[in-house]
Chains A and B, each alone.
Chain A
Amino acid sequence: MTDSGDLDALFDGKSLDGHSIDELSDYLDRGRTPADPAIDSSPGCQIALAGLARLRAMSETLVETDAAAEPARDDSWVSGILDNIELEAHAGRDIPIQHSAPAARLVITEGAVRGLIRAAGDSVGGILIGRCRLDGDVTVPGEAIGVRIDASVFFGERIPEIVARVREAIYTELLRHTELNFTSIDVTIHDVHHVRSSPEEVAE
């Protein structure tokens, strides 16, 4: 391995390239047109945009239901998830990928791994990933790493079953894409959201 400090300067460590989650949300509203090269060429922005798009799709029904049923609804959970999407999309630590060549320096960013964890969790359905964290030194190959997920579920979901499905989905993706030694995936459910079961229910 060589000293690669100068190469680090070539990569943008700020990852979101100065864009806020609000700017990215507006960009999504406009259908990503006109194309913004600064956003489109930023890995952090792309991770955040993917998370935003999934959150919108999943929360649409919840927000509509809450609006009909609760005049003074609390949107803090949405802003909390938005904050976490922004935070987690940052590149973070470099996670090594092994290669036998002595001049190889291969890594996947912590932000990319958090992004795929969030995507895997969201793919299960019926659950919203609030926050995800990687515990342990991910920069050291073989080190024991834990995943901690904070989430909320839709009303009617069986929590033990959906948590098991989320853990399996996340573990499968992590095994496919990384070489980390995952020893635990802890999922904590913090909230339950009411969902609309039929259009008539909202109209009442």
Chain B
Amino acid sequence: MSVDTGTMSHDLTALVQAVPGVTKVYSSAPLVLSLLNRTTDLVLRKEPTIDVVAVTESAEGLRIAVSIAVDDRTSASEACRLVHDAIAGYLELENAGRLAEIAVRVGSVG
């Protein structure tokens, strides 16, 4: 089953940003690509459109990867689980097919 990874990344980025305790979603895409997208947005005078949740398809199934910052009032472990559950809920709702992995990394706290 093939999915629109671009749309999915866009949706998941918005979803993760809305999870309580998450203050920032770091780019999981290569930095050069992120900067290129950002530059394109600036040239076209568009709002930044960087989708920072990585969505890839592999032989084992769909892989999702995201790196987040968490505020220091929220348990980082709990926020991490909430992000996972939000992503898993979205994938179930979208009937996204076989899932290989949901990787959530807390990169900074506070």
Quick check: A43 and B67 within 8 Å, CB to CB? yes
B63 within 8 A of A: yes
Q: What chain B residues lie within 8 Å of A46 (beta carbons)?
A: 24, 69, 107-108
Give the contact stretch, choosing among A22-30, A62-70, A103-111, A196-204.
Answer: A103-111
Does A47 have its Cβ within 8 Å of any Cβ on chain B?
yes
Query: Is B104 close to A, CB under 8 A?
Result: yes
Complex Cα gap A12–B105 (Å): 12
- B11 part of interface (Cβ distance < 8 Å): no
Number of interface residues of B (CB under 8 A): 39
Q: Are A107 and B106 in contact (CB under 8 A)?
A: yes
> In the bound complex, what is the Cα–Cα distance between A17 and B32 (angstroms)?
11
Contacts of A58 in B (CB 8 A): none
- Determine whether the beta carbon of A116 is less than 8 Å from that of B110: yes
Q: Report the interface size class on chain A.
A: 35 or more
Q: Does B99 contact A (CB under 8 A)?
A: yes
User: Which of B54, B70, B102, B107 is in CB contact (< 8 Å) with A10?
Assistant: B54
B-facing residues in A69-118 (Cβ within 8 Å)? 91, 94, 97, 99, 101, 103-109, 111-113, 115-116
- For chain B, residues 27 to 68, give those with C-beta under 8 angstroms from any C-beta of chain A: 27-31, 34-35, 38, 54, 56, 58, 60, 63, 65, 67
When distances are taken between beta carbons in the complex, the residues of chain B under 8 Å from A97 are 76-77, 80-81, 106
Instruction: Tell which of A38, A43, A111 has the most Cβ of chain B within 10 Å.
Output: A43
Give bound CA distance, A91 to B28, whole Å.
14
Are the C-beta atoms of A41 and B27 separated by less than 8 Å?
yes
> With A6-B58, A178-B76 as given contacts, are A42 and B26 in contact (CB-CB < 8 Å)?
yes
Q: Is A119 an interface residue (CB 8 A)?
A: yes
Contact with B along A41-57 (1 / 0, CB 8 A): 11110110010000000
The CA-CA distance from A99 to B63 in the complex, in Å, is: 17
Q: Using Cβ atoms and an 8 Å threshold, which residues of chain B touch A112? A: 76, 106-109
Q: Does A176 sit within 8 A of B, measured CB to CB?
A: yes
Chain A residues near B109: list those with CB within 8 A: 108, 112-113, 115-116, 119, 177
